[in-house]
Amino acid sequence: MKKAASIPADSVGVVETQHITLFQDDPLPLDCGATLSPVRVAYETYGKLNEKKNNVILVCHALSGSAHAAGYHSGESRKPGWWETCIGPGKPFDTNKFFIVCSNNLGGCYGTTGPSSTDPATGKPFGLRFPLITIGDMARVQKALVDALGIKQLLSVAGGSMGGMLALQWALDYPQMVKSSLIIAATPRLSAQNIAFNAVARQAILMDPHFNGGDYDSTSLPENGLALARMMAHITYLSEEGLHQKFGRRLQDREKLSYGFENDFAIESYLHYQGSSFVKRFDANTYLYITKAMDYFDPFSDPETTARRLKEVTARFLVTSFDTDWRFDTRRSKEMVRILNWHHKDVTFQEFSSPHGHDSFLLDIPHYKQTLATFLNRLYLEYCQRGG
């Protein structure tokens, strides 16, 4: 990968999203009972696959993420991948050591088959005719991608938020393939409060006058509903402390209150910007499907299911949380740790201090990054250098 002069030395440089078509002959079976065929997958890779093909890390993105986890899409682009803080030479996911794979999830809108994709049966976008999907279905598509790349073993599966759910799903569904699982700012199941947030966000989209039963087009998008959903969700990704530090009660571009319904406060203007920019890059139907998949996620629904699912698991786990994350707070992580410990799994837990709430997992926090690096380097020494 070439590096433009303006790109930092610790970046993977200029990268290109690749695409592969899977499940052309044998349709993808979904947990809802439906099937999909074919399935197009967008993915990116960073670093070099070693001779033994045992230095592979699968990175899983959160709700609104994409395959573009690191680097830049052109020499002129100034927006790096969503996990640029952690992926690159000398970073925790060190591309001098590891071969990193990141794909856009099933149901997404960044190149992988989802509700905005063309339905082969009609020649039109699926819309709400796209079948309901689960985190398990997403992992199944990732598994097919990894198989197609000729990879038989993953040194680690890692992700934050919904990506952490996928990292857990992989350890449960493909125990013989996964050496470790990095579960960051995630949960083994959504709380009633989190399901409620998702439900209100979906209603904002569904009630937009331009939603049209999911059959909207580029000339008339449900922008207001999707923007409102994003604004509300974004509040949950931040912390009260972080919002106070960044905005407080500061006015936006004015010296006095308007005594009207304009954006008087800086935080109002910020949320409006987050909503309006989100609708330019994300699909409303995808938001519906992905949030529903998160609602359904519950791999440890009862003791019998938990025991059965964990029986064959040999992966090492690193579970991390942040003290100001109230969306997926530390109690959720500790619940996961207790379950894993009860079933005698190799699990390490660490809570980090950060004022930035749930979004902390995306940021440059030294102690957090050092913990990731230490865990991964230990795996590298044991499995890649010593052949463990």
Positions marked active-site = 161, 325, 358
Burial 347-372 (b: 16+ CB within 10 A, else e): bebeebebbbbbbbbbeebeebbebb
Beta strand pairing call for 180-184 and 156-160 = parallel
Return d(Cα 330, Cα 383) in angstroms, integer.
Answer: 30
Q: Are the beta carbons of 371 and 319 closer than 8 angstroms?
A: no
- Which pair of tokens denotes residue 287? 């938001």
Cβ neighbours around 14 below 10 Å, total:
17
- Residue 188 makes CB contacts below 8 A (sequence gap 6+) with 168, 297, 298, 299, 300, 332, 335, 336, 339
The DSSP result for 110-166, as a single string, is SSSSSTTSBPTTTSSB-GGGSPP--HHHHHHHHHHHHHHTT---BSEEEEETHHHHH
